[in-house]
Amino acid sequence: MIKSFSVLNSDQINKYKYFFPISTMEDMMWMKATDGVPMHIGHDMHRPIGCMIPYALYFEPYLVRNIGITLIPETAEESKQILNFKKYSTYKNIKEDIDTNNGSLLKLLKDYVSENPKYLTAGTLAILDDNLVTKVFPKLTKLKDKDGLIKIADLKEDFTYKFHGVFIHNSIPLCIYSHNYFRKSLSRFNNFHNLFLDEFMSHQDNEAVTLKIALDWNIIGYAPTFLQTLEFEYWFGPKYDDDITNIKPGLTKHNCSDFERSYYEVSSTEFYWKNNDQLKEFELEELREENAPTLEDFFGCRYVHSIYDISKKTFVHFDGAVRGYSSDLYFDRIEQNMTEFGRRSDYTKLFRIDGKLDIKDWKNLITKYMQGNPLIYEYFNVDKPKSQFEDKEQIKKTLKEELVPQSIDEGDGIRLLVSYHQKNEDFKEHSHSVSIYDVIDNNGEDQSILEYDILEIKKALDRQNKTLFIKEDTLLGVIEDGYWNIPCIFHSEHNPQNDVKTTLLAIKKIFDKITERNLDKVISFTLSWNMEDKEVRVSCFGHIKDLQRWLLSFDEIPTNRKDFKIWLDNQKKYLNTNYERQEEKPRFKDIAQFDGVLYIKREIVDNKYEPTPVIENKQMICTIKIPNKKHYSDIQNGYITPVMACVPTKAICSKSNLDYKISPHSKFLDEDVYTKIENFEDLCFYWSDRPVVN
């Protein structure tokens, strides 16, 4: 699978005017972080493309983002896995809804449904059965006009519009739905093109117009299970000018680009205006690339018809429909223009507006009715919405951003990554354990490795009568710069609250000593524990002085979910109170790992620089050759420099003369203690803007 990070939402007000508090984003993570959710192109359930895991919250000053991991299949077998996961997820969600509501929907409809009714999720838990609405609400059938539409004013006598195409009965806990052709791909398995339906219904109290709509006569839902589905796209009603009279009569055809054809499954759209005395008549039809997935041999193409009164300067009629074609008929259709082909189609009218409709409202409605068709924007000469999948210019990186992407300075604030994972069933016999290791290739075999200074955490815990478990065969590497990755420390479930508190105290003591010596360090560390049926990882990153101040702002991290959610909200307040808003520094993807750890990813000095170790004044240094001096001034001026990395095979404590691993002394916690590296192997060099100065 191809893995990548995605931003799902944030605590900022988005373009749809929604705001997600941290507690809500945490709820989303809690529900799906260990399961994931199927991912579809354009939110179309018939176009599965992968899996999304909403696994983490990322905190920086004035911004908290909900981060997801995207999994995209690379092979046929992986695609099959994604499809099976989608089927399982759909079944699981419906079963949970049925079980949660104890069969209430079926009890209400048992006298009307066939022997084996079909359940589905359609904004609510629902039952699909032929002519079910007619059987349960026979009054509605008498309200239909010749096109099968019902006036909204008549519908409101017994039903109230909720959101997203759903009408809830005023006295019975049941709901009915707008016609399924309002849904994406005309399918009941999809959500509605709700932008249009909500906009359409916003005119229900406008006395200047009469609204009519088509219903889905085969489906009834259980109203108490209604959930407002949020599909955040980049699709909005743009601002148009109000010039209609100057549009010339005739037919215009717009064609999609290759990307648009693949993504939207629309090939072209035709726009036709004709003059009729004081009236201007408008028709629009889109031509689609694919057969409707739940209908046999049916190409469903959205159609619009409108009439504009020049003297009144308003639209007096506006309706929308779907024109359906069999394969043979559709191939004839695409060879001819709309005006030549005529009205040969299976025609289903979906809505109608009569009266006085302002031009701005008409353009807004027509754009939203044609949601997912970028040619509408093109025709009305406004900027198309941009998809994240379309080509975009690569942001030019500075040399420092390229070679030292993890750089951060004092005053930039800390970064927090909070993630949920499958419950950790390991390390039950240890109160404190390193649970995540780096891995290197050691003579063709993978071997675990940690940064040598993990021994300082171990020594600090030893002094509090706690033992940090580290696998025996773990290599310890030294990197001579001011960055330090403290690995993930897992705390057993016997007493995680006290154990996490003990680790924090150990880290605070080390940080205090580092700060006293005025060492310029940037550090990452991660703490984890089990909370109910999940493992929590809290990963922290920042300059030592910012981390030290932050650690003084609280006494402990709660390990139960209720209090932990309050703690999360307090971290947002802390960051917003103590730091200024700033551009992303460093970039999330330059320090984040898929396992929920913020990790300093150093860049190796590659062969194009010809790195060569040299002994100079009893010190190991690295000489390099700069390929093009014009672009490497930061290296020439010493702002970025190679630093040594190695695996010590013999390291002695300066005070006890014992192997530093077993010595009771600590170079951070004690005075006049340092580590003497007498032998080492696996020498290499990394770029840094914080070399250790001896």
Does the pLDDT at position 236 exceed 80? no
What tens digit of pLDDT does each residue of 512-559 get?
Answer: 999 999 999 999 999 999 999 999 999 999 999 999 999 999 989 999
pLDDT digits (tens, 9 = 90+) for 370-388: 988 888 888 877 666 655 5
Q: Confirm if 21 and 57 have CB atoms less than 8 A apart.
A: no
Distance CA 326, CA 335 (A): 14
Q: Is the whole-model pTM more than 0.75? A: yes
Cβ neighbors of 87 (< 8 A, separation 6 or more) are none
Tell me what the pLDDT averaged over the chain comes to. Answer: 88
What is the bridge-based pairing of β-strands 445-451 and 475-479? parallel
pLDDT tens sequence across 89-110: 888 888 888 888 878 898 999 9
- Chain centroid to Cα 588, Å, comes to 14
Both structure tokens of 320:
């929308």
Element (H or E) spanning 8, and its range?
strand 2-10
Q: At 348, is the secondary structure helix, strand, or coil?
A: strand
Res. 683 pLDDT band, cuts 50 70 90: confident
* Short-list 416, 418, 427, 268, CA closest to 336: 268
Percentages helix, strand, coil for the chain (3-state, rounded to 5) are 25, 35, 40
Predicted confidence (pLDDT) at residue 693 exceeds the cutoff of 70: no
pLDDT for residue 663 is more than 50 = yes
Distance separating alpha carbons of residues 692 and 641, to the nearest angstrom: 11
CA distances (Å), 174 to each of 124, 137, 138, 167, 490, in order? 10, 11, 15, 9, 49
Q: Are the CB atoms for 510 and 486 separated by under 8 Å?
A: no
Give the integer Cα–Cα distance in Å for 300 and 325.
7
CA distance 232 to 122: 18
Structural element, H or E, at residue 269: strand 266-276
CB 349 within 8 A of CB 214: yes
Measured distance CA(674)–CA(95) in Å, rounded:
62
Inter-CA distances, 502 with 61, 362, 371, 425, Å: 27, 64, 55, 21
Contact 648, 452 (CB under 8 A): yes
3-class state of residue 189 by DSSP: coil
Residue 603 DSSP code: P
Paired with 114 in beta bridges are none
54 φ/ψ angles, rounded to the nearest 5 degrees: -80, 85
Count of CB atoms situated within 10 Å of the CB of 478: 17
Q: What confidence category does residue 694 fall into, taking pLDDT thresholds of 50, 70 and 90?
A: low
Q: How many CB atoms lie within 10 A of CB 250?
A: 10
Place of tokens 């223009």: 337
pLDDT per residue as tens digits for the range 239-276: 445 666 667 788 888 998 888 888 888 999 999 999 88
Quick one: tokens of 224? Answer: 């108490």
What digits encode the pLDDT tens for the residues 163-186?
Answer: 889 999 999 999 999 999 999 899
Which amino acid, 431?
A: S
